[in-house]
Chains A and B, each alone.
Chain A
């Protein structure tokens, strides 16, 4: 049995690949290799909706689409995850923070002269 996180990721992958709104039944077809019940698909979609990842329309049947493209989502995440405010600095360990252009030039000089 796949974990919920793994299912969510798979559903997002299929939604991003779909290129347009899809219904839950349609989505289940696209996930046929997994043999999921329609209720499971609905559960995953509801969770993704509450996380702000998925939007649904008012049509019948309801159709779902990703709120942002994969690239937009990655860019937003990058901002949220790497943004700094107080405790945020203890949340993750970043390889190296960005520096301004002047400092970057200095670093390259160090490397060239070293």
Chain B
């Protein structure tokens, strides 16, 4: 018989695998408060992994005990199973182990590969970039208007000469402040698990959707931080102008993740030109509480002794 805990965790996992990320991906409020939305996505990803692995584990260990702590204690102390251990228990345990190993393994591998690619790119770039008028930015001789930063212990902020030529001083400042925000707030760390899990779970549409959403939210957050640092009368318009120039003029260089960029760029520009009202405090706290609950529920189901 399936323990109630395993059934509850499985139901939660099913919700988190499809309907919840679909709803959050479609919702319009994340653009009003990217930080809260980012917290929700992180909680969703973590809770999803926790509940699916937890469901398999609780089911697989059911012959040893009705709850995870009881079953784990029984296994560790070498007590024999109270109920007969059948094939499906072993299948559940194997799946739990494989899934846990895959999720953490892919994350570690992705981290290593990313770090290696960053180091290589930084080394190659440092041979050709020159100092620019902006103290912490380097200039790369190329006609396309491009700006990017490579995060890490020694971050590198690169502006192409095309970018410098096509933007006025205020627009360029907006670009630099946007990239600085990525570096200062370490946005690459928010993205890493979603990039890794999309690679680990290519069959799960939620993984791709979550990755695209988080990518867009991180850009919106960087836009918001940049606005706060921009002097002048119309910082929103200045930043929007810079985005439109850079998005439209990048002929001859790879476009980036095209499937997501087109719509996401428009969202950013619309958001800058016609800013939505910020999320009211009550809604903000509700969303944060929902995120906390999302993590608390599977954790409680796993750790509390079975009351049912």
Contacts and interface: CB of A to CB of B under 8 A. Distances in A.
B146 A92 contact: no
B256 interface: yes
Contacts of A111: 240-241, 244, 269, 273
Contacts of A48: 127
Contacts of B179: 93, 95
Nearest to B175: A95
Interface string A77-114: 11111111011111111111111100110111011001
B262 A78 contact: no
A71 B160 CA distance: 12
B280 to A, nearest CB: 25
* Residues of B in contact with A, size category: 35 or more
B128 A99 contact: no
Question: What range describes how many residues of A lie at the interface?
Answer: 35 or more
A95 B126 contact: no
Contacts of A100: 255, 258, 262
A62 interface: no
B150 interface: yes
B236 to A, nearest CB: 9
B179 to A, nearest CB: 6
Interface in B247-301: 247-248, 250-258, 261-262, 265-266, 268-270, 273-274
B125 to A, nearest CB: 6
B269 A107 contact: yes
Given A70-B128, A111-B241, A86 B270 contact: no
Given A98-B255, A110-B269, A103 B187 contact: no
Given A90-B114, A97-B247, A98-B251, A103 B192 contact: no
Contacts of A84: 254, 256-257
Contact of A90 (B124, B188, B253): B188
A75 interface: yes
Interface stretch (B2-10, B20-28, B83-91, B136-144): B136-144
B265 A107 contact: yes
Contacts of B243: 95-96, 107
7 contacts: A81-B121, A89-B195, A92-B150, A95-B146, A95-B175, A98-B250, A107-B269
